[in-house]
Amino acid sequence: MSSHRPGRLPRLPFGERWTGPERVIDPEQTDLTLHARTVRRLAFPDTAEMLAVRTAAVQVGALEFIAAIHPPMVMDLGEASDPSVIIPRYGATTCSTGMTRYTARAGLSVAFLSGAAQVVETGLVSVVAVRLDSIRLRHTARSMHGDRPGRPPDLDLAGNRELSLHAGGLPMERMLGHLFELFDLVPASGLAQLGLDDLFYRYMVNLLCPELHGPMANPVLAPPGSLRREVDVVCEYVRAHFSEPITLTVLESISGLSQRSLQLAFQKQFGCTPMQWVRQIRLDMARKVLLNARPGDTVTKIALDCGFTQLSGFSQAFLARFGELPSDTLRQNLAGP
What residue spans in the chain does CATH classification 1.10.10.60 cover? 222-337
Q: What is the pLDDT of residue 189?
A: 78
Q: Is the pLDDT of residue 4 over 50?
A: no
| CATH 2.60.120.10 in the chain, residue ranges | 1-215
Whether the Cβ atoms of residue 106 and residue 90 lie closer than 8 Å to each other: yes
Count of CA atoms in the C-beta half-sphere (13 A) of 251:
29
For the beta sheet containing 118-122, the strands, ordered from the edge strand earlier in sequence to the opposite edge, are 39-43, 73-77, 118-122, 92-97, 100-105
- pLDDT tens per residue across span 317-335: 999 999 999 999 999 888 7
pLDDT of residue 269: 92
Contacts of 139 (CB under 8 A, 6+ apart): 249, 253
Instruction: Average the pLDDT over each of 138-142, 146-150, 239-243, 280-284 and give the range with the smallest value.
Output: 146-150
Contact 65, 130 (CB under 8 A): yes
Nearest Cα residue to 315 out of 305, 307, 325, 300: 325
Tell me which CATH homologous superfamily contains domain 222-337.
Answer: Homeodomain-like (1.10.10.60)
Q: Residue 165: how many CB atoms within 10 A of its CB?
A: 24
Residue 294 near residue 333 (C-beta atoms within 8 A): no
- Cβ count near 326 (within 10 Å): 25
Rounded average pLDDT over 10-37:
72
Tens-digit pLDDT profile for residues 174-222? 999 999 999 998 888 788 888 999 999 999 999 999 887 655 444 455 5
CA-CA-CA-CA dihedral for 86, 87, 91, 94, to nearest 10:
30
More confident position, 17 or 51: 17
String of DSSP letters for 234-298: HHHHHHHHTTS---HHHHHHHHT--HHHHHHHHHHHHSS-HHHHHHHHHHHHHHHHHHT--TT--
What span, in angstroms and rounded, lies between the C-alpha atoms of 172 and 110?
10
**How many angstroms separate the CA atoms of 231 and 252, rounded?**
10
The amino acid present at 104, given as its one-letter code, is A
Mean pLDDT of 10-34: 72
pLDDT digits (tens, 9 = 90+) for 164-174: 999 878 899 99
Q: Please, are residues 2 and 13 in contact by the beta-carbon 8 Å criterion?
A: yes
The whole model's pTM is what? 0.82
**Euclidean distance between CA atoms 304 and 301, whole angstroms:** 5
* Whole-number pLDDT of residue 37: 76
How high is the mean pLDDT of the chain?
A: 86
Q: How far is CA 238 from CA 100, 115, 235, 255, 270, in A?
A: 46, 36, 5, 12, 14
Residue with the bigger pLDDT between 39 and 290: it is 290
What is the per-residue pLDDT for 33? 57
Q: What is the mean pLDDT of residues 127-143?
A: 94
- Supply the pLDDT for residue 102: 96
Split at pLDDT 50, 70, 90, the class of 36 is: low
**How far is it, in rounded angstroms, from Cα 69 to Cα 71?**
7
Tell me the three-class secondary structure of 108-142, residue by residue: CEEEEECCCCEEEEECCEEEEEEECCHHHHHHHHH
Q: Which of 10-24, 99-113, 196-210, 310-324 has the lowest mean pLDDT?
A: 10-24
Local structure of residue 215 (DSSP, 8 states):
P
Please report the pLDDT score of residue 129 as a whole number: 94
- Residue 206 Ramachandran class (φ > 0 left, ψ -120 to 50 alpha, else beta): alpha
User: By mean pLDDT, which of 32-36, 132-136, 257-261 is the weakest?
Assistant: 32-36
Nearest Cα residue to 142 out of 263, 264, 249: 249
Q: Give the Cα separation of 302 and 287 in Å (integer).
A: 9
Q: What is the CATH number of domain 1-215?
A: 2.60.120.10
